[in-house]
Amino acid sequence: MSTQLEMADNTRVLPAAPPRLAAGRSGVLAVVLAILTALTGAVLIREALVAAGVIGGTSVITQLTSFVDGQRPSLTAGLTGLLMLLVGLVLLWLALSPRRGVGLALRAPTGAYLDPRSLDPLVQARALSVPGVIAASTQGNAKRLRLEVSSTAGNVSDAVREAVLSDFDALARPPSLRVDVRPAEGSVPADQPAPAEAQR
């Protein structure tokens, strides 16, 4: 079976690339297991040194078995078992939970993706291309974005929104956009007349 796709103009391209995925939460589980394994190894090495007479002290394993010996079912044992069960379920969820995507899919048949870190500079540059906008800053994430601009030309909210949304058309799932306009220092609001000196 061919692994290529044929476009309308008979151009053959590869199938769309799979989405980029972040590191899975199982990394947390791996760290926990690594720490427990290292601690177990350290305890066993100490036990061997104590048994060989290289170092002094009592056996940790012997103390643990002496503590467990003679124990009977109790509320403390039940609570301990419940805690261990919850910890085990959390670790299992961390290991099996799906990884989240880290790329913003573009409307392209070849599976192109935009790095989310490039979204803020792209939006700010597009806002600064609007006449009258002298500064722009963004807050939010790949789903919701708040754009704040400083303008010397009054309320340019609609113009900025239209300019930014024209770039968002390339995204398969564009974020929601909120535009806040702040008059630049020394500028005259659109609904107020200019001073007499400025009108001359």
Write down the pLDDT at residue 19: 59
Report pLDDT digits (tens) over 62-100: 887 777 777 676 777 778 778 888 888 887 787 777 766
CA–CA separation, 20 and 104 (whole Å)? 9
pLDDT at 192 over 50: no
SS3 13: strand
pLDDT at 52 over 70: yes
Record the pTM.
0.48
Q: At what angle do helices 75-96 and 26-51 cross, to 10 degrees?
A: 130
Question: pLDDT tier at 199 (50, 70, 90 boundaries)?
Answer: very low
φ/ψ of residue 89, rounded to 5? -65, -40
Write down the pLDDT at residue 50: 84
Write down the pLDDT at residue 49: 87
Q: Which of 133, 196, 199 is nearest to 164 (CA)?
A: 133
Question: pLDDT tier at 188 (50, 70, 90 boundaries)?
Answer: low
CA–CA separation, 95 and 99 (whole Å)? 10
Write down the pLDDT at residue 58: 82
Query: Could you give the domains of the chain?
Result: 26-96 (no CATH), 107-183 (3.30.70.1350)
Report pLDDT digits (tens) over 122-160: 899 989 999 988 899 988 887 888 999 988 877 888 899
Task: Print burial letters for 121-153: b (CB count within 10 Å at least 16), e (below 16).
Answer: eebbebbeebebbeebebebebeebebebbbeb
Question: pLDDT tier at 111 (50, 70, 90 boundaries)?
Answer: low
Write down the pLDDT at residue 193: 41
Write down the pLDDT at residue 17: 57
Write down the pLDDT at residue 4: 43
